[in-house]
Every structure is written in structure tokens, then in C-alpha cells.
Chains A and B, each alone.
Chain A
């Protein structure tokens, strides 16, 4: 067989193009874009005269101070204050997890069991000596680095039990550095929450409700009311997600990684709070000194350190709903001087109360009355669909009702309400939020069989037949 010259030419060109493309792919791997922290839109706002409200040189100063205090997205780091040295307090890894002296917040030993499950495939591969199968994802860059280092130190022939032990400890004792958490944030959180945690990432405009803006230090679903959240509150959000919103559960990551993410979210939140505080200081005093910056940083840190004290707990066992309690809850719900819930949530709890809507004079249509702290229009929750963003647990509802919701129009419960009253309300809200499926199903079954009794089937014997029709 003779190849026609044209065929050879086309084939050769195709082969060359393919090889070229492969080579191109290798060389021109897109460079990893470097992200920066920017100042918020409020800081950069222009006045009526078209000039920035905060002069450009002051803005540069603020940005510089923030970079000094919190580092960059590539290398985030809390600035250490001299007075912390005496206290033995170091907010950066690795001193921050609970140490031998009891300082720090995260108990590393408690995370070990979870690490053993999360890294089970890697640990099994290490145990079996299959080094090629020890896969370390790129969102744990510090672990990958350490693993590669360990491998480079010991050639494959020399890897014995000591190596296996050291390698296993690397995985079971893993707690991410801030920079590694920043990488995890970059891959899984940034697209909604934005590089500065401003809730303005590229996918944010498509979401309703909008992602949280951390920079106010205000988080809605916590146990601490208007205070900044505790580590536990943030952990619960990451762990359970926020039902009914676009925030999913991130339990797919290890507990250590979630705590690392919390470290980074706190850094972003504090950065935003310091920025806002500096802007307001400048607004009052028309100047900023380095003392102002240090004050702002310290004040913000004090707030976060004290968050644990603000948590609302309930002494004693959570009471179970009773018909009387539910009835009392209904009364409080409808009482304008007690719960006054109906004014926004509506008499039936459908989120259609009169106070929540106002007539828009321009369009002549109803629009939400309230806006949240971030300027988004906000509607009262429909209590009848069983979706509670802050959680459905009794204690979650208790905290929501008692503390209100930070950053939104949901107020604190009136001081005249006792904790028993709050529980009555919790039980009433619980009682209207669900529709038992099973009872419903059985009832419709009964009807169906009742009508078709001429077939000689009793409800008890019609096990498979009835259900298949549904």
C-alpha cells in the first residue's frame, strides 16, 4: 500500500500539532494569580465633590497598617503585641492550639481521632509501604511540604518502622498553618465570601441570601447575641452548614482543617473590624496615629477573646413540648406586649406580618420594610416550612428568640419574658414548623382502602399495593 503524499502531510501536521499542544500545555500552565487584600468600598468611598472622603495618603496608611497587622492572603499572620509575650499568648500557629501550659483554644489531641479517619487512606498506604499512593491534596500545602521533606530525607530502601511512625504522626497530628488555611479558604470559600471576607466573591451576586460579610464582626447564627462569635459558633456553621441558604456543610474536611478555617475567618473578620474602626476614628479626629492603629487592634482582639463569656446557655434540662406549653406559646406569639412575633412573622407564622412590608410609593407594590446591617432587603422567616437557618435544635431556637439575630431586624426578646416563656415560644414555633409525614400517609391510605373496600382488601393486608401507587 502506498500512502498518498497528501495523507502523509495531513497526518504529520496533525501529529506535530498534537505534540506541540502537549508541550504548550506543560510550559504555559497559567501562573497562579496573586490575590491581595483591598480596602473596603466604604473606605474608598467618594464624597459629593468627587474626591475620596478619606485622602489617598491616609488610605495608603490604613492599607499598610492592616498589612502589618494581618499579613497578606499569601502569608497571613497576626502581629504579635509586646504585652502578649508576657501573657504567653500567641495567636499564630503553632502556639495557638492548646499547649502544655494550657494556653490556646484548640485541643490538638482531640483532633487526632478525627485526623485518623480523614487521612485513613494515606495512613493505610503508609502502613502498607505503598509510598506512591500517599496522596496529599494541594489545599494542605504545609502537610504536603512536610511529607515531601520527610520522603527526601529517607530513601525508599531505608524506610522502616521508624519512618512509618514519623509519617503517621505527620498526618494524625496535622493542624494547618494560617497560610494553609488561607489556601483552603481560597479554594472553597473565596468565590462567595471574597478575598477579604467581604461577601463579595465572584459567585456572590448569584446568591440569595448573599454570603456573609465578615468585616463587621457580626455573625447572625451564634449563641452570643450582638457580640463577635465564639470559635464554637463558627465551627457549628462550618460543620452543619446553614440550611436554606447556599452555605453547605463542610464536614468533608477534617476537624483540624475546619479549625484552621476558623482561624483564618477570624483573621479576616478582625482585619475588617480594625479597618472600620480606623475609618471611624479618622472621621472623628481627621487624623490617624500609630497609637490609634494599636488601640484598634487591641480592642478588636479583646472582643474576640471575651466572646466565650457572652454565650447564652440554659441551666438545666431542655423542656419538652406539651400541649399547654404550645398553647401558652401561641398566646405569647400573638401578644403585642409579650412576644409580638406576629407583627413580622404573621399570625400564622408564614413570614407575612404587616410590619415586615411597606408600600413602595413609586411602584405601588409591597416591599420589605427592613434592611440588614449590610444593606440587603430582608424578610421575616416563614416558620411553617421547617427551615431554620441557625439550626432546628431547641437550644438554637431558644437562643434566636432570646438574643435576637445580630445584624438583622429580629430583636432581643422583651425583658419581661422569662426563660419559661421563651421555651413556650420555642415549642409553639416547633409545633407549626413540621408536618408529620407518616400520619398523613396512613390517613390517605385508610381513605383509599375505605373507598375500594369492594375489592375485599382490609387496610392491614394491603401492604405493598397501596404504597406503590404513591
Chain B
């Protein structure tokens, strides 16, 4: 009986670890990474995951072993203890060191992605000259490109709902804003997630390395329609981007007649 129970108990963590090992093959793992800093985020994720996996396996093996060794059949009497100072020191120090380790190794990556001082400065788009403003509202996304004057918040801004078109292999800087409640800009393929806060203009940047269509998802429960607050980031070649912008502009300054609308 104790063999059976030990085995059953051990089966749970074993199956859990196995799903992680096989997840990639079952296509349950991360979507492809297409942003320049996505690899860094994945590396950090993997480091933390391996640390957790190591701890998990060790503790589960110990647990199963104790269930086996101290089962009710060995009618030994439990010894009372007031604790071990040394042991407590150890199990406080090890997690503290682990947390410090995580805190230090992520600093560079975090600073590169989130600190405005590290935003792209020499490219076409900078903190002062973002490509667009992304407005979140219940329950859609609106993208506002500066018009010919290159300044946002002027009357010639081009506005388009839902689809954020950006050129490939270019450092894209944009502002994130919200009209109503807290939303979150999340593009899994870019490994990029940022909450949009009412009253704040939050600058963000990314560089997409591969053309394609990527889902833009709201990752903050923002109301009853949160589930359908999706959008799209379309990464196109630079020539195609220029073409798309001129299309948007033509529609913006349409006289109604030429486009038949």
C-alpha cells in the first residue's frame, strides 16, 4: 500500500514536469519571438523556470521519500522539536540569495526595454518623435499617426482603428494612452506588455524582426467586453509601410467621391 501511495503522490509532479518537457512539441509553448529584445525576455524566463524546476523536483522527491519512509506502518513515535535555528537560517538565506540573483540579472534587460533614457535615439522614431499614439478604450484600439507635420495632437493626425501598421527592422517608438479605464497593450510575439493608465502617456518601443500579422491583446481585465478587445499589429516592409501610410492618408483626406464612400 505504501508503495502505491508513494507512487501516486510522485506521479503528480512527474506528470507536471513531463508536460513542461513536451510542451514545445505539443505547441503549447510560447509563440515565436519576432522582436529584437524578445530573446532576452525568454532567457530570463528560462533562468527563472530552471531555478523553480530544480527546487520543485528536489522538494517533490523529498516529499515522496518522506511519505514512503515515515508511513504509518513504521509505528515510530514522533519527536517534538522547537525548531532549528541553523536550518531556518539556511532556508531564509537560500531564497534571499536566489531573489537577489534574479533581481540583478534582470536589471539590464528591464532598463533597456523600459527606461526612457535607453530608448532608441538615432533612428527614424525617437521619444520626441514617436511613430504613433495607440489609444485604448472600451473595447477597441485606435492608432493615431502624426500627419505631415510629424507632431501628434494636431488636426492633420491620421487615425485608424484596430490595426497598427509598422515597418520591419525599424526601432518603433510609440505612446500608449487610454480614454477610460486601465488596459494593457500585449503582443505575445514581441514579448511586450504594458499597462495603459488613465491620464498617462506611456512611451514604449520595440523592433520587429519579421514581417507578419500579430495579435494585439488587451491583457488587463477592463470590463465586460475585455474578451473581445483584440487588435492587430501588422509588420510590413518599409516600402509597403510607405504605401499603407499613403493609403491611410488618401482615405483621411478623401472628398468622399474618389473612394466612393
Contact = CB atoms under 8 A, between A and B. Distances in A.
B257 interface: yes
Nearest to A312: B256
B2 A1 contact: yes
A308 to B, nearest CB: 9
B152 A314 contact: no
Contact of A249 (B5, B140, B154, B157): B140
Nearest to B135: A243
Contact of A240 (B121, B155, B161, B225): B161
B196 to A, nearest CB: 16
Given A251-B162, A313-B255, A314-B257, A430 B5 contact: no
Interface in A350-409: 386, 392-395, 399
Interface in A300-331: 311-318, 321
A386 B115 CA distance: 30
Contact of B155 (A120, A239, A246, A431): A431
B213 interface: yes
Contacts, number: 113
Interface in B214-254: 224-225, 228-231, 251-254
A210 interface: no
B151 A439 contact: yes
A383 B116 CA distance: 33
B261 interface: yes
* Residue picked from A239, A246, A248, A467, most chain B C-beta under 10 Å: A248
A433 to B, nearest CB: 7
B33 interface: no
Given A117-B213, A188-B228, A468 B153 contact: no
A411 to B, nearest CB: 21
Contact of B140 (A117, A241, A318, A437): A241
Contacts of B151: 436-439
Interface residues of A, number: 50
A6 interface: no
A316 B121 CA distance: 41
Interface in A259-312: 311-312
A1 B256 contact: no
A468 B154 contact: no
B250 to A, nearest CB: 11
B260 interface: yes
B163 interface: yes
Contact of A313 (B137, B140, B256): B256
B169 interface: no
B91 to A, nearest CB: 29
B209 interface: no
B89 interface: no
B253 A434 contact: no
Contacts of B40: none
Interface string A119-160: 010000000000000000000000000000000000000000
B85 interface: no
B1 interface: yes
Contacts of A444: none
A463 B257 contact: no
Interface string B120-141: 0100000111000000011111
Given A314-B256, A433-B155, A1 B162 contact: no
A431 to B, nearest CB: 6
A251 B253 CA distance: 21
A226 interface: no
B117 interface: yes
A395 B73 contact: no
A434 B162 contact: no
A463 B122 CA distance: 12
A468 B161 contact: no
Interface in A438-470: 438-442, 463-465, 467-468
B71 interface: yes
A236 interface: yes
Contact of A395 (B1, B128, B256): B256
Interface in B145-177: 151-155, 157, 159, 161-163
A436 B71 contact: no
Contacts of B2: 1
B201 interface: yes
Nearest to A252: B230
A232 interface: yes
A435 interface: yes
A117 B234 CA distance: 11
B72 interface: yes
Contacts of A392: 157, 159
Interface in B73-91: 73
A256 interface: no
A203 interface: yes
A223 interface: yes
Contact of B255 (A249, A316, A433, A468): A316
B253 A252 contact: no
B116 A1 contact: no
Given A1-B2, A251-B162, A464-B117, 6 more contacts: A203-B224, A251-B163, A311-B256, A434-B155, A464-B119, A468-B115
Closest 5 CB pairs of A and B: A464-B117, A249-B161, A248-B140, A430-B155, A313-B257
5 contacts: A232-B261, A236-B261, A241-B140, A434-B157, A437-B152
Interface of A: 1-2, 117, 120, 188, 203, 223, 232, 236, 239-241, 243, 246, 248-249, 251-252, 311-318, 321, 386, 392-395, 399, 430-431, 433-442, 463-465, 467-468
